[in-house]
Amino acid sequence: VPAFEEGPVQALEQPLLGWREIGTAPKDGGEMLIAVAGLWCTVGRWLGEDAGWWEMNNDPTDSWGRGPLHPTHWMPLPEPPK
| b/e burial code for range 54-65 (CB count within 10 A of at least 16 → b) | bbbeeeeeeeeb
Rounded to 5 degrees, φ, ψ at 23 are -65, -15
d(CA 43, CA 17): 17
d(CA 48, CA 54): 10
- pLDDT of 53-72, one tens digit each? 988 876 666 666 788 899 99
Give the pTM. 0.69
Q: How confident is the model at residue 16, as a pLDDT?
A: 54
Q: How confident is the model at residue 39, as a pLDDT?
A: 81
d(CA 34, CA 50): 19
